[in-house]
Structure 1
């Protein structure tokens, strides 16, 4: 419980005696943690997070320890929102293998920068201790969240649990996205016919690098803003459920650290945010963070393979998992996992003659925490760049940043395999259906990763080879390749593994178009140049880019053809649907009636080859092509009829708006699909839960805009507005469960409180003082 305590006078971690930590909560429950050293800072942060999300963290730790099957059975789905098809048994097998290999402990034994710095270790240990202190103070039987109140799986956590969480987050673009494939890999039985089925692998790779798990990030330099200041827009798109949520927090050690922003659950640093001098955000990269290798197996031995003509045996590890049966009894399931010189062997594609294996660029990466901690102390773009060069810990994200000088900076400094263009050309083997990652020849060391002298770890590209751009006008990314970060200064010459195609999808095209119109002052929002109000307004503009370039053609088509033939041969009357689209405003706001029908139609159309554009993509016109939809193309007419038919079958009104069908705890939502070219991405679907853990309480699944921030780095201090779309707490009984969600529904923002005076002036201020 909260007690009064004297303040320690020391700075940093020089003072290790009794000290106090304050949790100051302002509007919407945002915690501002004030401490005198890193250990106490982590302690206060862990305690505050537990107040809001104890059940979510306990559920996550259950996953990280490989113990879900013990409590919820083998076949239930996990609460992992980015790997939602994993069964408990698959997940437990993967994590038990990781624990038994001692991977995290070995990484923690390394000196910095490969292992953690002393400051980061104390921060992590303090976080775990603060979380555990909350459980002790309140008692599991009296937790305020009914989701896990009194449950035996709610247990104290350790720093090692948190480091396992970090490694798993860092490997989302690699091994963590392929848990099913790793946990189910089994050599073929003797005399079975060979098969190269890779359907499941294609789905897993798509989950590891999906289009929708993206973000928008803009850094607006002095030449793009009305007052000549640097501005930033942060708009990550991640799931609203489960363990990939953001938590908004401010972390302060006077004279040492003062940072605010969004942090992924279970991480004691700010990943997207700002200090007094610099602001930054991240978007998911287009680069590859894993390499897929095909092994040539030794004849008659499916667990041995050839490299440069010499045989090597796969390593094998038996992994026992405790499983609760339907009758409540516990049994043990033992699986054997296989590993090659490259990394885990995968289930799909394992035949008598070949097998697939993968190498993860983030296999040893827990450096991300120290990199973000160093960025959290930075006061300029230069200092931020220095932090990234030292630790090279970005796992799978671009960085977009600005500072008080009005610089605008972009880089892909993520952990990227050192594969040259020549290797990608010579090492590729026959592509497998649906596999978007290059499949390389694992039978020769000529296809191994190389290295750079400035790389912190062998096998990776170093900072000198990474795409980067520093401007005075702007840099922007919406998960496109680095090439058109700023179309006025295209990036070229970087290795193809960072992203080969410069073609813009509709969403980045939409974003770059908004920036250009605002700089020119042609968007109807007033004089040229960005201000914070115009930046906020553009974020919630909800323009549907696909409608901008194709709605008129579709309307002409359906007006000329009042009946159309669906894919199943049925004749569909589309007149009412055509009227609904004719009344649609071409946006994805809560009340944009007709958008739901358009999303269904265009989403179906976009699944196949894009042969229906009237004007195909032209690399000389990257911002204005493709455009126009050929309404006479059969595929277009079939897709429209199918969308109408589907809406009728589901009982969805033909003029339904996003707010009619997208809801979070009955709060209507706006935003639309990535495939439509919507900047503010939001998906939401009903669900009945996944059979165990915290997800049983969920009434919907959502993904899209999550922690949002607009900030101006003015000479007098940062001025920011923020919004955590799903709010601070996952506890349905908390007052902060949907309070910011309601703001999001109405396109409203929270005025940030950053300085001590701002925090003290909050009418909602509540202060908790902890003594250890």
Structure 2
């Protein structure tokens, strides 16, 4: 009888697994995983199958960061107004909006049924069985930890005992994957879709940035492939990285970082391949202008098409239910913004139905060389908004903008172009009244409407490829990538200071002129180079700044005050141009330089302080210099110095005293200043000589050397592993980052076992 029941149970489990979207159960109906933690709490999760691996990962993650994912699940379900009020900002760390706007948007995503439809599709459009098992296991592991601990006993006071904390579902994780893929498109246009009053005058926000180098055998001292990963993502919320090693013996062994709520490693390495990503400049959506027949219908090819309607209900804190209606079209949601009695605009999002990225990362993690990594990307075509840079043990460097891009040629963009009523969305507004303006098709594309792999910008080198969010044309100055449709990003454009200093850092290391010894990269010089704290705008403008100081010691501020800038000039002349913790002059330069970049009044063009303008024939050496004799420049210096003097702030103020995270001083400087290892604070320098807390910058840094004996890796998770303020791993790595230190990764069994702080736990459920 026992054998019959067991057989029936297995049959039932198999039938459940075949049902679209159903849990992919472990073979014995139970999950089991081993979680080993090394220094700084870093988890190494191993299991015999994908379900168990996901279970262990979800359990470990919940131990460290349950509150963040619990809050985000409330967001994905469209329930923030119910728990936090309709007017408070959502917990989106990239582009927060009012909770009511957020709720309407996410309820519309759920109402569309897109995830449900994708889960019925076979790979690569739908998820693989391995990924389904990972997701289901991850959910079960998270829920198991919550069940064992109890919401009332959670160690993190942020969500302890809160009514909004509860079990999650696989649908929540699938929605999280979809939302990440939409991060550079639909998810950043919530206000335009929903059309709440708070959205008036809103513009799409900047996407997170990154630095990445893949070094080939000709760039490294010992001929090994090497990689630097330096993503610049938010330091708070769901877009933080979590560091983990995931192992199924004989099947998968990958180490790296993944964004919260993602069950796969997104930036990382295995024994023979390492990869990372940077945010691409390619377009992720187009708007289609609809010629209206009446308020709820439009014409295409002379025929009238009715709009669809989505009726959402959002519950507020007091129990009141608010109804909101959104309109849809053949192209996608109809924007509330720009809607008149004659025209409307619809959003065609290239990532509207993209769950493929997670399977692509899983396949990349199993790649043994670059050929297999390329094949993984070609098979899935799911990278939503990032470049890929990779290297392997053979010492080859590889770059690809293998991201999902709408198939719009330059000729089509010009032929179909329509004006946009929305600031910041002027490009790629197409004529929606004719099917001749629909996205094109490539035979090698896995879904219609996108460019296939053969059309993507790619470069393979024996020396290096690099990207710091510049367009792909200067991936390696020796081999410019040009001739691609403009939808991929413009070629022959100003690189901006951060990508320029990145390429200059590589050039100096390869020539041995950076003071770090003989030419060529080692793991140690890769680490040192990446944390050099160079301020490139200061380097390029310093000679002309000193000329200004010599010719005008008392420039006039914008309020008419004559300001003695002598001490400021002496401070800047003595500064070495590096934004270290003790860099006297670093903050003064920033306050001067950022005043140069600001428009004098809203609507004015941004002022260019460069003495020599950009020349596409000399992209690595232009623009340069400072317009030292321009009254605008002199006034900016006077205004900056006057601010310091008026508030009693020392002109020698250092980054160590001015910028911080959780009370820990943080080095570095800002994007506009041309800093490779940049930081960002939402707000200006206060009268107390302090900036608001750092909220973006280098996040999960990883330097890897792929040697014949296995990978040598150094990492630093800048904001540390846990968001729980009572955890010993809340700021332990942040303190290391402040001092310029790294963590030596433990990848092999011998390395893990040798850790004197090793802890081991087996979890089941």
Tell me whether the two structures share a fold, i.e. TM-score over 0.5.
yes
Matched-pair contact (CA < 8 Å) for 1:185–1:346 = no
2:270 to 275, 299, 305: 275
1:94 is aligned to: 105
> Quick one: distance in 2 between partners of 1:682 and 1:598?
15
> Quick one: distance in 2 between partners of 1:633 and 1:121?
62
2:227 to 227, 232, 235: 232
Structure 1 segment 175-574 matched on structure 2, within 5 A: 175-184=186-195, 200-201=201-202, 203-204=203-204, 207=205, 209-210=206-207, 213-298=208-293, 301-324=294-317, 329-430=318-419, 433-435=423-425, 437-503=427-493, 504-574=495-565
1:765 is aligned to: 758
> 1:340: Cα distance to partner?
2.1
> Quick one: distance in 2 between partners of 1:548 and 1:554?
10
- When residues 738 and 478 of structure 1 are mapped into structure 2, their CA distance, relative to the original with a 3 A threshold, is same
Structure 1 segment 729-768 matched on structure 2, within 5 A: 729-768=722-761
- When residues 757 and 412 of structure 1 are mapped into structure 2, their CA distance, relative to the original with a 3 A threshold, is same
1:73 is aligned to: 85
Over 6 Å off, 4+ runs:
none
Matched-pair contact (CA < 8 Å) for 2:609–2:633 = yes
> Quick one: distance in 2 between partners of 1:634 and 1:572?
14
> 1:445: Cα distance to partner?
1.9
1:670 to 667, 680, 696: 667
2:651 is aligned to: 654
Deviations 1:342-364 (A, max 9, x none): 11222332223222221111011
Matched-pair contact (CA < 8 Å) for 2:274–2:391 = yes
> 1:143: Cα distance to partner?
0.3
1:120 is aligned to: 131
2:180 is aligned to: 169
- When residues 142 and 634 of structure 1 are mapped into structure 2, their CA distance, relative to the original with a 3 A threshold, is same
Matched-pair contact (CA < 8 Å) for 1:185–1:338 = no
Matched-pair contact (CA < 8 Å) for 2:655–2:666 = yes
TM-score (norm 2): 0.92
Any unmatched runs of 5+ in structure 2? Answer: 1-23, 599-604, 685-691
Deviations 1:728-763 (A, max 9, x none): 000011000000000000000000000011001111
Any unmatched runs of 5+ in structure 1? Answer: 1-11, 187-196, 688-698
> Quick one: distance in 2 between partners of 1:354 and 1:640?
48
1:52 to 30, 52, 64: 64
> Quick one: distance in 2 between partners of 1:137 and 1:122?
22
* Secondary structure of residue in 2 paired with 1:216: strand
Deviations 1:669-726 (A, max 9, x none): 0111111110001123589xxxxxxxxxxx8351010000000011110000000000
> Quick one: distance in 2 between partners of 1:467 and 1:683?
30
Deviations 1:117-148 (A, max 9, x none): 11100000000000000001111100000111
* Secondary structure of residue in 1 paired with 2:53: helix
2:151 is aligned to: 140
- When residues 459 and 650 of structure 1 are mapped into structure 2, their CA distance, relative to the original with a 3 A threshold, is farther
> Quick one: distance in 2 between partners of 1:577 and 1:427?
54
1:695 is aligned to: none
> 1:290: Cα distance to partner?
0.9
Matched-pair contact (CA < 8 Å) for 2:31–2:137 = no
> Quick one: distance in 2 between partners of 1:573 and 1:359?
55
Matched-pair contact (CA < 8 Å) for 1:27–1:765 = yes
1:22 is aligned to: 34
Matched-pair contact (CA < 8 Å) for 1:185–1:345 = no
2:679 is aligned to: 682
> 1:78: Cα distance to partner?
1.0
> 1:339: Cα distance to partner?
1.6
> Quick one: distance in 2 between partners of 1:118 and 1:612?
56
> Quick one: distance in 1 between partners of 2:133 and 2:158?
31
- State the structure with bigger RCO (CA 8 A, min sep 6), 1 or 2: 1
1:34 is aligned to: 46
1:604 is aligned to: 595
> Quick one: distance in 2 between partners of 1:359 and 1:486?
33
> Quick one: distance in 1 between partners of 2:440 and 2:642?
54
> Quick one: distance in 2 between partners of 1:56 and 1:752?
26
- When residues 406 and 175 of structure 1 are mapped into structure 2, their CA distance, relative to the original with a 3 A threshold, is same
Structure 1 segment 619-630 matched on structure 2, within 5 A: 619-630=616-627
